[in-house]
Structure 1
Amino acid sequence: MITCVVEYVVDPAKIDEFERFARRWMELVDQHGGSHHGYFLPSEGASDKALALFSFPSLAAYEVYRARFGADPDFVAADRIREESGCVLRYERTFMRPLLPER
């Protein structure tokens, strides 16, 4: 399993738009072979940081999902929310592997 951690710098005045963007991407990840673990948004105080975590069974499975960017109409429409609203100022993607509790 591989987990993608995306750290966003968001426009605090556009959190509603960011939430709309995030909800759509949660659906798309889940529809295309991944498991979305949610977005973590600013809560208390002034903050412009948000996180997203989602996993795929393998890097190869993630790459199949990524190949849809720019081509699949649903992916293009979801990304358009970010582009048109300006809710995301920048983002950074990191890949990690989870260490889970033994059961």
Structure 2
Amino acid sequence: MITCVVHYTIDPAQIEAFERFARTWMRLVARHGGVHHGYFLPAEGASDRAEALFSFESLAAYEQYRALFGVDPEFVAADRIREESGCVLRYERTFMRPLLPTD
């Protein structure tokens, strides 16, 4: 399993647009074979940081999902939320492997 951790710098004035963006991507990840662990939004402290975590069975499975960017109409529409609202100022992806508790 591989987990993608996305670190966002967001526009706090566009939090509602960011939430629409996030809900759309959670649905798309699930529809295309991934497991979305959620978006984590500002509550206290810095109000311009958000995080997302989602997993795919393998890097190859993630790459199949990524191949739909800019091609699939639903992916294009999801990105349009970000582009038109300016809710995401910057983002960075990191790939990690989970170390899970054992019995």
Normalising by structure 1, we get a TM-score of 0.98
Runs of 4+ in 1 over 3 A off after TM superposition: none
Provide the residue aligned with 1:93 in structure 2: 93
- Supply the AA of the counterpart residue of 1:44: E
Counterpart-to-counterpart distance in 2, 1:46 and 1:10 = 10
Q: Secondary structure of 2:68's partner? A: coil
Q: CA deviation at 1:27?
A: 0.1
Count of paired positions = 103
Provide the residue aligned with 2:6 in structure 1: 6
Counterpart-to-counterpart distance in 1, 2:45 and 2:68 = 37
Q: Secondary structure of 1:76's partner? A: helix
Q: Over aligned residue pairs, what C-alpha RMSD do you find?
A: 0.7
Counterpart-to-counterpart distance in 1, 2:79 and 2:23 = 12
Provide the residue aligned with 2:39 in structure 1: 39
Counterpart-to-counterpart distance in 2, 1:51 and 1:69 = 20
Structure 2, unmatched stretches of 5+, are: none
Give percent identity, aligned residues only.
80
1:1-103 alignment, distance < 5 Å:
1-103=1-103
Counterpart-to-counterpart distance in 2, 1:86 and 1:25 = 16
Q: Secondary structure of 2:39's partner? A: strand
Q: Secondary structure of 2:63's partner? A: helix
CA deviation profile, 1:30-63 (whole Å, cap 9, x unmatched): 0000000000000124420000000000000000
